[in-house]
Structure 1
Amino acid sequence: MTKKLVIKVTAGADSPERCSQAFTVAAVAVASGVEVSLWLTGESAWFALPGRAAEFALPHAAPLPDLLDAILAGGSVTLCSQCAARREITEADVLEGVRIAGAQVFVQEALGEDTQALVY
């Protein structure tokens, strides 16, 4: 079994099914004992802000706030630094437990030993 799963989600409310799939896979992996690193990029960057996940709705899907809470409780969530800058999001703005980091950190994580990377 893969020891670490790095997931980059680029979709937000603009593509709700892709977005929900990424968060669902991450939460299920955390619940299964897999080390998970979820990266918020593009339109998913907004979910790093308090209350934004609660605004997301997709019929027959788990509530995004619940999935995000599960991921934060057992994994890590990173907001892309360029995506944050384009949206004028700072470290002071994000949910507790969310870090802001750039491509170098993503590449380092994705190329780690026993790591599988997925992009949604």
Structure 2
Amino acid sequence: MSRSLVVKVTAGADAPERCAQAFTVAATALASGVDVSLWLTGESSWFALPGRAAEFDLPHSAPLSDLLISLLSAGRVTLCTQCAARREITENDVLPGVRIAGAAVFVEEILLDNAQALVY
């Protein structure tokens, strides 16, 4: 049975250490061969937009844009439906590979895949 991890990140530039931790854990798990799904919710929703991750800077942390690129290339990145709507973000606005989905898909990923879930 393959291992899978769902990481839900709620923090963005408002809580940079928590945000960076979520991306770092997700990217590290992915590099370790774990199937990873990263969910962008709350203030992290902005990172679904082109260029936003490159603006994020936290000393002694891997560049968020690099972590996001690796997650988009080998994992799954999902933007919360309600969070996108509240910020007026549409499918036409997001980076290639980012999907917009809601709570039912989040629950499905955890329960059907028997995944471990982390919330930051």
Give your verdict on TM over 0.5: yes
| 1:85-108 CA distance string (max 9 Å, x none) | 000000000000000000000011
Q: TM-score, normalised by structure 2?
A: 0.97
Please give the TM-score of this superposition, normalised by the length of structure 1: 0.97
Q: Provide Cα deviations, 1:33-75, integer angstroms capped at 9, x if missing partner.
A: 1000000000000000000001100000000000000111110
| SS of equivalent to 2:59 | coil
What is the CA–CA distance in structure 2 between the aligned matches of 1:72 and 1:20, rounded to whole Å?
16
> In 2, are the aligned partners of 1:2 and 1:115 still within 8 Å (CA)?
no
Q: What SS class does the counterpart of residue 111 from structure 1 fall into?
A: helix
Task: Measure, in 2, the Cα distance between the counterparts of 1:2 and 1:25.
Answer: 18
Identical-residue share of aligned pairs (%): 76
Partner of 1:64: 64
SS at match of 1:83: helix
Displacement of 1:77 in angstroms is 0.1
Partner of residue 47, structure 1: 47
The Cα RMSD (Å) is 1.1
User: Structure 2: which 5+ residue stretches go unaligned?
Assistant: none
**Post-superposition offset of 1:111:** 1.5
Amino acid at match of 1:116: Q
**Equivalent-residue separation in structure 1 for 2:89 and 2:113 (angstroms):** 32
Q: Which runs of 4+ in 1 moved over 3 A?
A: none
Structure 1: stretches of 5+ with no match in the other structure? none
- Asked whether the equivalents of residues 10 and 40 of structure 1 are also in contact (C-alpha less than 8 Å), the reply is yes
Q: Residue 24 in 1 paired to residue 24 in 2?
A: yes
Match of 1:77? 77
Q: Give 2:118's aligned residue.
A: 118
